[in-house]
Structure 1
């Protein structure tokens, strides 16, 4: 198993398209397909279903995706730390983030940062909240962008609220309520529920339970998953329904529908989490840009309503 094979698999899984992944990675489609096939042969499982020129993650693929990201992240972090400590590499800022916020928040902020600090380096790590918090604690990340966290974790770090995002119901496309303009959370009483795992998204199970309790029912949680893509996949497979921030609508979700919730609409926080220490000039610039962009995104969303 080679690192480039893992990167090819991750890109194809994120884009759900061999051609788009190949274009993003600047390789040919046959080369990318061949390396994914080699990876599948070595693992002994199919990571993708190929249906009418489209690809979809299999259950094994959804299971492996966050683990592949973890392997690549650990390798890149270790190599960079080695170059900085024992070589001549410049100090690199390491930013963790959640996938829905890459294109409209993280990428623009980093692009502007590089214009202001052309000699500074930024490495990006797409990680679930628990992994981000662990790396902050171990000084392997300089900042993290993630959702709600526990009071215990809040006490360990400096927390800045970037924005609040409305939650939406995520339903299989053939669900009786999937074509509604909006639904009340109480309309999903009696459904089977998919939750994010507390091992990867601390506090999410309790967050779901609290929202459903306020709506007058106790959710029957039948499955817990360790990534947003796996949650979408579980809903698409008909295992149950879920709640996700509306911002996640931009993720590939063929086979399921995001349905807005009727008032009062529950929300979730987007947080910028920092270690409790003095920040470098470069990190102050980067975090300020992130905060400014998050505020602008929130304003644009309000203006469109």
Structure 2
């Protein structure tokens, strides 16, 4: 067994086929097959079900991939830990729900890059449920997500902010009564793939509000543009970090019992990148404390 073989095994799980895994780790299909057979022979276990057209990992194979990720991550962290930089260099894979990508995430990354120029942060967008799967698989080091109903026991949750839901309307809407507006205007729904959609739908049901769906979108910027064009109204989270140039829209509170979305940083509990994730968490909290992302403040330069 070697680290190279473990990387290939992980690549097979991530890419689905030996050929795609070979492309990911820059070896041939035959080399991938040879390495996997060598692992099976060395360990005396069956990693793949080869009765299928495309070999699939067995339950034992999937369990070994999980441990292999930990071993490879520890290996990658070996030199930084010895040199004493605590991993504040190299690569960090960060996921984020779409609502964090216009202000919260760029604010935090800009600050981190200024302090740790040798640290490269790659960002992957996705919905909370998708990002949790990528965390479990080890594809991501951490993700900014909506707090799930149950935090998996093998995960570490660090709360970042609480964002109450509010009603978004164009400036042409004269009423300030959210119940009247929802009953009389077309409704632009947050995608059902988003976890926060559950919070919104539960609140609508509790209030016995029936909306007239006209669109279902997953990007807050697109929703805002549609609302700005007076094509409907929408219930959205009140962003804890405002973007640089927000559209002129009405933000109407839903009341004291409005649903609240908790944003946080999720990572594997046994991550070897805890030190750098603590820095990411600190910068995210700082962004929330400031409340607005301004990449080019007046007077700068």
Quickly name the TM-score band, shorter chain normalised: 0.5 to 0.7
Q: Which residue of 2 aligns with 1:286?
A: 279
Cα distance per residue 1:4-33 (max 9 Å; x no partner): xxxxxxxxxxxxxxxxxxxxxxxxxxxxxx
Give matches, 1:199-238, under 5 Å. 199=193, 201=194, 203-238=195-230
Cα distance per residue 1:160-180 (max 9 Å; x no partner): 221112222111332232xx4
Task: Please report how far the alpha carbon of residue 144 of structure 1 lies from its aligned counterpart in structure 2 after TM superposition.
Answer: 0.9
Partner SS for 1:189: helix
Q: Which residue of 2 aligns with 1:172?
A: 170
Distance 1:118 1:206, change over 3 A: closer
Q: How many Å separate the matches in 2 of 1:189 and 1:280?
A: 49
Q: How many Å separate the matches in 2 of 1:115 and 1:130?
A: 31
* 1:249–1:258 contact (8 Å) kept in structure 2: no
Pair 1:245 & 2:237 matched = yes
Cα distance per residue 1:110-159 (max 9 Å; x no partner): 344345544332223344434433432332221111224344x7566332
- Greater Cα radius of gyration, structure 1 or 2: 2
Q: How many Å separate the matches in 1 of 2:169 and 2:253?
A: 11
Q: Which residue of 1 aligns with 2:65?
A: none
Q: Which residue of 1 aligns with 2:265?
A: 272
Q: How many Å separate the matches in 2 of 1:140 and 1:112?
A: 24
Task: Please report how far the alpha carbon of residue 255 of structure 1 lies from its aligned counterpart in structure 2 after TM superposition.
Answer: 7.1
Cα distance per residue 1:49-90 (max 9 Å; x no partner): xxxxxxxxxxxxxxxxxxxxxxxxxxxxx9xx85999xxxx7
Q: Which residue of 2 aligns with 1:65?
A: none
* 2:143–2:265 contact (8 Å) kept in structure 1: yes
Of residues 173, 191, 196 in structure 2, which corresponds to 1:197? 191
Q: Which residue of 2 aligns with 1:259?
A: 252
Q: Which residue of 1 aligns with 2:142?
A: 143
Partner SS for 2:276: helix
Equivalenced residues, count: 208
Partner SS for 2:192: coil
Q: How many Å separate the matches in 2 of 1:142 and 1:274?
A: 6
* 2:182–2:209 contact (8 Å) kept in structure 1: no
Q: Structure 2 unaligned segments of length 5 or more: list them.
A: 1-20, 27-71, 74-88, 292-301
* 2:97–2:127 contact (8 Å) kept in structure 1: yes
Worse-matched range after superposition: 118-127 or 162-171: 118-127
Q: Structure 1 unaligned segments of length 5 or more: list them.
A: 1-77, 299-305
Partner SS for 2:174: coil
Of residues 160, 185, 188 in structure 1, which corresponds to 2:182? 188
Pair 1:95 & 2:94 matched = yes
Distance 1:115 1:236, change over 3 A: closer
Distance 1:297 1:163, change over 3 A: farther
* 1:161–1:270 contact (8 Å) kept in structure 2: yes
Q: How many Å separate the matches in 2 of 1:103 and 1:237?
A: 20
* 1:209–1:218 contact (8 Å) kept in structure 2: no
